[in-house]
Structure 1
Amino acid sequence: MQAAVDSGIGVDVSSVYELRDALRAGVDPARVVATGPAKTHAFHAELLACGALISVDSIGELAELEACVAPSTPPPRVRILLRYRPASNRASRFGMDEAELLQCLKRLATRRTAFTFEGFHCHLGGYAWETRVQAVHELAAAVGAARELDLRPRMLDIGGGLPVRYVEGEAYDAFLPAQTPDDYRTGRVPDSYYPYGGRTDAAAWLRQLLAAPCVGGRTVAHYLNAEQLVLALEPGRSLVDQAAVTAFRVIRVKALADGRHVVFVEGSSFSACETWFGSEFLVDPVLVPADPERGADGPRFGAYIAGHSCLDDDVVTNRILDFDRRPEPGDLLVYANTAGYQMDLLENEFHRHPMPRRIVVRTNPRGAMEFSPD
């Protein structure tokens, strides 16, 4: 939050607790947008009180906001976006279709003293810039409909996120087709993965989006400029690309009945959320021996990594990793570039184990490293 304040960028909040964090950090309420689909009455009330921008997910949510402002004298000016569900994402539970969007616009046109309509928002899964271009193309009709009702949209928020490259694209493309069911303790290769080795980074992604043909032969950039629309986006974990490492301490290594091995670590799968979605974190950890003199002269060693809870599915990686030596208790398994999803929502005190420690490393003006708790 403080980094957002220092950088002069806005903050997306999805709960009343994130909103309070943002305001305590000094974020300008005018630069806060609330996009969660299931906002509580208390969340709405605090958003209205501070003047934040609210992304309305449904006709029902708009009705709830109308009820919130009705008792107020004078009523607060409610700043809103309308959340659209693009054609490429029709099965999503987020947002509204074209007919629902138009119904909301007509209601807003009759409530100008209570509501300030600022534009449209959409939620799209995946990282394809092409689906965002198509969403902008579809929203052009909604922008026109809003202006016919004398509403003045100023923003298109195309959601998030932007891609992060964890490994080189060539290595990733060679790795994927070479996998077999024997590479996984489940005997099944996952159906999909986050694009760990995509060929496009966040900056190139944005350039491709803005340069793509969109409405009336114009590029997205030309359309936005001509219509005087601000492009908003939620860059997500790309903001912390190449930041942070996560270290798991090895507790023990166990041979299983099927001849395989499992490495138990001091940690849990809550720190590697891909396994929640039937996918897999494909970046290998670096094995750092507790004894730096212990060499790698022995045979290579295959094992998967499990957490320290009593859940059989508490698995950090189902993939059988190929180590250059047998991991031993006290060794560390270190994952690079993990700032994006190693956050509070993935941490818990399962079995009353303490929360993972966070350490901030800074370089002082003399070039020396300083360590401090986060």
Structure 2
Amino acid sequence: MTLHCQKIGHGLPPILRSATADLLTIHGPLLFDWAARHGSPLNLVWPDALQENLAALKGVLTDCRVEHAIYYGAKVNKSPGLMQAALSAGAGLDVSSLYELRDARLLGAEGVRLVATGPAKTGAFHQELIDCNALISVDPPGRLEDLIHGLPADVGPQPILLRLRPRNQSKSRFGMPADAVVHCLARLAGESRLRFDGLNFHLSGYLWETRVAALSEAADLIAEARRMGFSPRMIDIGGGLPIQYVDRARYEAHLAAQAPEDYRNGKIPDSFYPYGSNLSAADWLHRLLEAEMSQGRSVAGYLAREGLTLAMEPGRALADQAAITVFLISRVKALGPDSHVIFVEGSSFSACETWFASEFLVDPILVPATRPAAQSPPIRAYLAGHSCLDEDVLSNRWLSFPIAPHAGDLLVYANTGGYQMDLLENEFHRHAMPARLCVVKDAEGHPILVPDTIGEV
């Protein structure tokens, strides 16, 4: 559902699932209690939302009769609750560091439940991946040699993928061109300790059409690998499935109407994440599977005929609607007759896309601590973090509030589960790291908090 937060003009209220909307309305007093007990900002996580998203993707794959392996991209959020939810629902985990791997193993993931697709693998990371027989993506060819040299003499077949750099990603530093993939296959021909399981790629952008083109390139290499005597079983398309933060029509209207004066610094960012996507992740996946590859075959038909598993590592798409971040307003300062700055308590907000010269185009929701005694005039304001730096802002975009915020009110950013909660977190000014807790229901169906730690999930 869409909760129409207190905004005027070309606002961008977030799309909310019902559990989140209920917390902000029916159970609103809980937010103040939780913020008082656990501090600001407060990150709240709904593991069941991830399982709903996973079920939607699995439903599309099953309907299209595609063998599949879905791995939750753990780098998107360091919540153990979300990792455990993925494992409990039958997904695996894509780990991008030694530390993510160790957490995954503490949660019980081993072998086929683990894949490491990222390009930055240390020797220690490789060794622990080998120890649990995880699926390892190799890039570039030199890393193949490193992996071979690190293999014990008596190790069983270690499964690997070779990371392809498709032609439409020629400027990327990740992946290998087709000729380098063939070179690696020739090197693998005499190495019995490694098992070539297939190819993977991870593309920039969110177009299913570019994935179809990359799949066509991968299909040629799969055929070449079989001619060379290999038995590949998988093509892994990475992530990049879109999600819908805000209503598409509102989003497009906002982009069309925005002007430099809508930003405190007078600059419209050059690019934005597609917050108002016209496709859900499930719709995107359905279009991909129905798309034609070659000779009239759909992607789904090709995979079925070749006996291949389609693997993927969604991050945001599985964390969609799985978290919110709650800020306590510490003060509101007038900058002029029609402009204010709202200061929020706690460490800098990772959803602050301003660190990347962009903007988080989702409006925060104002939750007043008390009902206003009288209707106040609307104000416009931008949001600032707690530090002594002028550029430490949560939003350069001027936000309109029909009811003036006050110290003690809450501002809630919705849908912060995807990269928005911990990418830039730090203890600057010695503030404690934000608390992260899971929201579950008690026996009577009321929301309660449980620790988001490995020992509790």
Q: C-alpha offsets along residues 296-355 of structure 1, whole Å, 9 cap, x if unaligned? A: 722211111111123332211110101112222111111122222244444222211011
Give the 3-state SS of the residue equivalent to 1:44 in structure 2.
helix
Partner of 1:88: 168
Question: What are the within-5 Å matches in structure 2 for residues 344-363 of structure 1?
Answer: 344-363=422-441
Residues 237, 310 of structure 2: 8 Å contact kept: yes
Of 125, 139, 144, the residue aligned with 1:57 is 139
1:283 aligns to what?
362
Q: How does 1:1-374 map to 2 (within 5 A)?
A: 1-69=83-151, 72-111=152-191, 113-256=192-335, 260-290=339-369, 292-294=370-372, 297-374=375-452
Q: Is the 8 A contact 1:55 1:82 kept in 2?
A: yes
> SS of the counterpart of 2:188?
helix
More displaced 10-residue stretch of structure 1: 8-17 or 318-327: 318-327
Summarize the Cα distance change of 1:233–1:271 in structure 2 as closer, same or farther, 3 Å threshold: same
| Structure 2, unaligned runs of 5 or more | 1-82, 453-457
Q: Secondary structure at the match of 1:341?
A: coil
Tell me the secondary structure at the aligned position of residue 175 of structure 1. Answer: helix
Q: Distance in 1 between matches of 2:157 and 2:328?
A: 53
Q: Does the CA contact (< 8 Å) of 1:13 and 1:19 recur in 2?
A: yes
Q: Aligned partners of 1:110 and 1:51: how far apart in 2? A: 20
Larger deviation, residues 201-210 vs 93-102: 93-102
Aligned CA distance change for structure 1 residues 59 and 209 (closer, same or farther; 3 Å): same
The change in CA–CA distance for 1:74 and 1:285 in structure 2 (over 3 A counts) is same
**1:229-262 per-position Cα deviation (integer Å, ceiling 9, x unaligned):** 1001112122122222211111222334797422
Closer, same or farther: CA 325–372 of 1 in aligned 2, 3 Å: same
Distance in structure 1 (CA, Å) of the matches to 2:356 and 2:216: 31
CA-based RMSD: 1.8
Q: Relative to 1, partners in 2 of residues 1:339 and 1:29: Cα closer, same or farther, differing over 3 Å?
A: same
- AA of the residue aligned to 1:124: L
CA distances 1:256-315 after superposition (whole Å, capped 9, x unpaired): 47974221111344421522322110110111122x221572221111111112333221
Conserved? CA contact 2:368–2:409, under 8 Å = yes
Q: 2: distance between equivalents of 1:95 and 1:147?
A: 21
Q: Distance in 2 between matches of 1:370 and 1:9?
A: 26
SS at match of 1:127: coil
User: Could you list the runs of 5+ residues in structure 1 that have no partner in the other structure?
Assistant: none
CA contact (8 A) 2:199 2:236 kept: yes
CA distance in structure 2 between the partners assigned to 1:222 and 1:232 by the alignment: 15
- What secondary structure does 1:63 align onto? helix
Indicate conservation of the 8 Å contact 1:23/1:29, yes or no: no
* CA deviation after TM superposition for structure 1 residue 43, in Å: 0.4
Q: Residues 269 and 317 of structure 1: is their aligned pair in 2 closer, same or farther, counting only changes over 3 Å?
A: farther
Greater mean alpha carbon deviation, residues 198-207 or residues 270-279: 270-279
Relative to structure 1, the CA distance from residue 372 to residue 24 in structure 2 (aligned partners, 3 Å threshold; closer, same or farther) is closer
Using structure 1 for the length normalisation, give the TM-score: 0.94
CA distance in 2 between counterparts of 1:312 and 1:56 reads: 43
Distance 1:296 1:93 in 2: 58
With 274-283 and 80-89 compared, the bigger mean Cα shift is at 274-283
Higher relative contact order (CA 8 A, sep 6+): 2
Runs of 4 or more consecutive aligned structure 1 residues displaced over 6 Å after TM superposition: none
- Please give the alpha-carbon distance, in whole angstroms, between the structure 2 residues aligned to 1:163 and 1:28: 29
TM-score, scaled relative to structure 2: 0.77
C-alpha separation in 2, matches of 1:44 and 1:289: 50
Aligned to 2:13: none
How many pairs does the alignment contain? 370
Q: SS of 1:297's equivalent?
A: coil
Report the more deviating stretch, 261-270 or 138-147.
261-270
Aligned mates of 1:258, 1:137 — CA distance in 2: 59
Counterpart of 1:338, as a letter, is T
What is the distance in 2 between the residues matched to 1:222 and 1:129?
16
